[in-house]
Amino acid sequence: MDEVIKKILQKEVTMFYPRFFGMPTLRTFPPFDELSRMRQQMDRIMDAFGGRAPGAMGAGVFPAINLTEDDDHYNLRAELPGVKTEDLDIQATASNLTISGERKLAAVEESAKYHRREREGGRFSRAFALPKEIDPNRIEARLSNGILTIRLPKAESAKPKRISIGN
């Protein structure tokens, strides 16, 4: 029994993960420490490049959105060319927003031959958790020229308040 344990411990001892800086040290797990540190350094480099890795934007879920805020509202915009209002469904609670629907491509005759096919149709659904609470009763949404613009007013409790200072 002792022999077996010794053998196992010996195996552990020899498994160390080489580090780029400093002396090799013992690690049992996780093997991803090295990778996460490399990723942190890459993030720092990317920040120096303007905060946006070229070509690596978004979660990959359709649609891509741009979320901005001012003092009273959040503004969410998405590019939805070819989506009609009746095919679009927006639901909201005080903290979440869900956009779902279907992009239908125009029907094409049977005899048609495609030379290029770059556009896609299909269903989509995406949910967002908003940074602060909003008032779902006063949301305004507009779809025009293929751009969906949603204005989400912040809940009163979420707006910053000026604090007066007494002496």
Partner 1 sequence: MTDTAQKELKVKEKQEVATPAEQTRPGIIFSPNVDIYETDQKLMLLADLPGVRPEDLTVDLRDDVLTISGEVQPFEGPNEKDILIEYEIGKYYRQFTLSEVIDQGRIDAQLKDGVLQLTLPKVEKAAPRTIKVTAG
Residues that bind partner 1 (CB under 8 A): 52, 55, 57-71, 74-75, 77, 79-84, 102-103, 105-106, 108-109, 111-125, 131, 143, 145-147, 149
Q: Which is nearer to partner 1, 11 or 113 (CB)?
A: 113
- Please say whether the beta carbons of 129 and 148 come within 8 A: no
Q: CA end-to-end span of the chain, whole Å?
A: 76
Nearest approach in angstroms of CB 145 to partner 1 is 5
Number of residues that this document lists for the chain: 167
Nearest approach in angstroms of CB 163 to partner 1 is 21
Q: Which is nearer to partner 1, 92 or 103 (CB)?
A: 103
Q: What is the largest CA-CA distance in the chain?
A: 83
Q: Which is nearer to partner 1, 5 or 59 (CB)?
A: 59
Q: What residue has token string 């993960």?
A: 17
Q: Which is nearer to partner 1, 41 or 125 (CB)?
A: 125
Nearest approach in angstroms of CB 18 to partner 1 is 36
**What dihedral angle (degrees, nearest 10) is formed by the CA atoms of 69, 51, 80, 67?**
-10
Cα–Cα nearest to 75, from 84, 83, 88, 65 = 65
Nearest approach in angstroms of CB 36 to partner 1 is 23
